[in-house]
């Protein structure tokens, strides 16, 4: 029995269904992987990170955007970038790198369709834990100003199609703050 041209066979439909099902399963596994490494940030860095998130979301509200949420996988990569910058100790000004950013400087831990900002914030020696609220606010304010200064493609106000994370690594005299945003789909509204 011959088929009309342009119609799919039952076998072809089954193969397509299995392929789509396998891709969806893999996406769910990737998104909900319980084997993620622990967040390497110290308690003081987590407090500063919370203050930076508050500043970023305040900025987003001023620009009529919803609150940005942190995605654990992206958060861990942002933290890795901040820690690597702290180890190197050579970042002297805010920089941006990644998707949509042209320039000669590249931050560590690049990702597909990800953009990162890094800001060094000079601080006096932080020897108290928890970090005092005034110091957290100062770091968050300077970090946001640094992010804004290098945000040429409106990364800070991306919509819900972006996964975001903030990393903070504190040395004796500098807090290295990174903002990482990764697109989850190709087209934005």
For the segment 145-164, the average pLDDT, to the nearest whole number, is 90
Tens digit of each residue's pLDDT (9 = 90 or more) over 73-95: 999 999 999 999 999 998 999 99
Q: Name every residue whose Cβ is closer than 8 Å to that of residue 49 and which is 6 or more positions away in sequence.
A: 41, 166, 167, 168
Q: Give the neighbor-by-neighbor strand order of the sheet with 174-183.
A: 95-98, 114-122, 174-183, 162-170
- Asked if CATH classification 3.30.70.260 holds for the domain at 43-183, the reply, yes or no, is no
Query: Is the pTM value of this prediction over 0.85?
Result: no
* Residue 177, beta-bridge partner list: 119, 168
Residue 131 has pLDDT above 90, yes or no: no
H or E element at residue 176 = strand 174-183
Residues belonging to the chain? 189
pLDDT in the model for residue 28: 57
Tens digit of each residue's pLDDT (9 = 90 or more) over 171-184: 988 999 999 999 88
Distance (Å, whole) CA 27 – CA 17: 15
pLDDT in the model for residue 50: 95
- Domain ranges in the chain are 43-183
- For 110, the 3-state DSSP assignment is coil
To the nearest whole percent, how much of the chain has pLDDT over 70?
A: 82
pLDDT in the model for residue 118: 95
pLDDT in the model for residue 189: 46
Residue 154 has pLDDT above 80, yes or no: yes
To the nearest whole percent, how much of the chain has pLDDT over 90?
A: 44
Q: If phi over 0 gives left and psi between -120 and 50 gives alpha, with beta otherwise, what is residue 57?
A: alpha
Tens digit of each residue's pLDDT (9 = 90 or more) over 29-58: 555 455 666 777 888 899 999 999 999 999
């Amino acid at each position: 029995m011959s088929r009309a041209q342009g119609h799919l066979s039952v076998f072809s439909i089954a193969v397509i269904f299995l392929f789509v099902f396998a891709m969806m399963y893999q996406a769910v596994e990737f998104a909900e992987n319980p084997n993620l490494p622990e967040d390497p940030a110290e308690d003081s860095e987590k407090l500063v990170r919370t203050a930076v998130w508050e500043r970023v979301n305040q900025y987003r509200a001023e620009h009529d955007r919803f609150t940005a949420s942190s995605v654990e996988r992206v958060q861990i990569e942002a933290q890795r970038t901040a820690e690597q910058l702290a180890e190197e100790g050579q970042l002297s000004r805010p920089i941006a790198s990644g998707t949509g950013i042209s320039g000669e400087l590249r931050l560590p831990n690049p990702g597909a369709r990800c953009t990162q900002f890094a800001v060094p914030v000079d601080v006096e020696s932080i020897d108290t834990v928890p970090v005092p609220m005034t110091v957290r606010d100062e770091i968050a304010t300077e970090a946001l100003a640094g992010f804004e200064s290098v945000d040429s493609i409106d990364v800070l106000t991306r919509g819900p199609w972006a996964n975001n994370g903030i990393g903070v690594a504190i040395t004796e005299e500098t807090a290295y703050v990174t903002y990482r945003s990764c697109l989850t789909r190709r087209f934005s509204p």
